Structure 1
């Protein structure tokens, strides 16, 4: 991943965005921002939309970064500055399994150190079930409109994501 300094990682909840982001940050030595940790405070209160957008505007001015999180309303900010977008486009069943595993591992709550926001509601489950029909087309449109210059990497399974991480690690080892 020579010459890639700004990485946006997007995808449905439970798709593995935080995991992939942590692995890439470790391999590449790039600063990592988890948007969930930025958006929610310790009391689960979200930032006002304009403040959330302003913080991202500031983040993307950095020379190197990895920012993970979907947040389609502010995705154009990240797309405008990104070199590469990693889109975790996993089936709903894999994402639901991902949130179940996360719940088991973290027992609920927000874990700011690793970007995990583990709050499962019926609305969140419906979002996951509907993601490929509602959000994915919106994300693809945003990519076309605001990110024609980015290298798009679409990963469609956890195995595919693991192979991608292994390939990046091998490239860095050379």
Structure 2
């Protein structure tokens, strides 16, 4: 396992798990939000974003967290060796998103100039978080099945399952799969 894609709702723990896996497996971590957003929450040109993602996953080993299914699955999934779906309860996601906005701490997975704040756009984002499983997850899963149906998927829900998954991995060594270059 050298190339892992992590999917899930905002606040589900994608970035935290990616950092932990990156450290544990000694591989680079790609945060899609960091590649996508520009200062002031400005969206990049679609081709520019795709070029950033292509460049970021050009190595033989990476952990890539973020959904962006319609924009990047065709780039990421053909190279992925594992997909991790974080099935975090929406109330947990909702609470985490509110707390990180209220605390307004800089996040390593976000670019400079993109701080979360309580405003109208944030309220819209909270709606996204609350309705994610019903409204957005089905289309992400459909895109995953279309582009990467043969990529193994594991579902993790909660700290205990994540800890058990991490404990089952060899530490600080790269994991090799037969198809890795």
- Aligning the two structures, in what range does the TM-score lie when normalised by the shorter sequence? 0.7 to 0.9
Q: CA deviation at 1:173?
A: 7.1
Q: Give the match for residue 73 of structure 2.
A: 75
Task: Please give the alpha-carbon distance, in whole angstroms, between the structure 1 residues aligned to 2:11 and 2:152.
Answer: 23
Q: CA RMSD in A?
A: 2.1
The 3-state SS of whatever aligns with 1:14 is coil
What are the Cα deviations for residues 67-93 of structure 1, in whole angstroms up to 9, with x where unaligned? Answer: 111112222321111111111122210
Q: CA deviation at 1:27?
A: 0.4
Q: Which of the numbers 95, 109, 120 marks the counterpart of 1:115?
A: 109
Between Structure 1 and Structure 2, the one with more helix by share is 1
Contact 1:5–1:64 under 8 Å retained in 2 = yes
Q: Which of the numbers 89, 92, 105 marks the counterpart of 2:90?
A: 92
Q: Which of the numbers 52, 56, 59 marks the counterpart of 1:59?
A: 56
Which is further off, 138-147 or 153-162?
153-162
> What's the TM-score once normalised by structure 1's chain length?
0.84
Distance 1:118 1:20, change over 3 A: farther
Distance 1:157 1:76, change over 3 A: farther
Q: Which runs of 5+ in 1 are unaligned?
A: none
> What's the TM-score once normalised by structure 2's chain length?
0.81
Say how many residue pairs are matched: 165
Contact 2:18–2:29 under 8 Å retained in 1 = yes
Q: Which runs of 5+ in 2 are unaligned?
A: 174-181
Which is further off, 149-158 or 81-90?
149-158
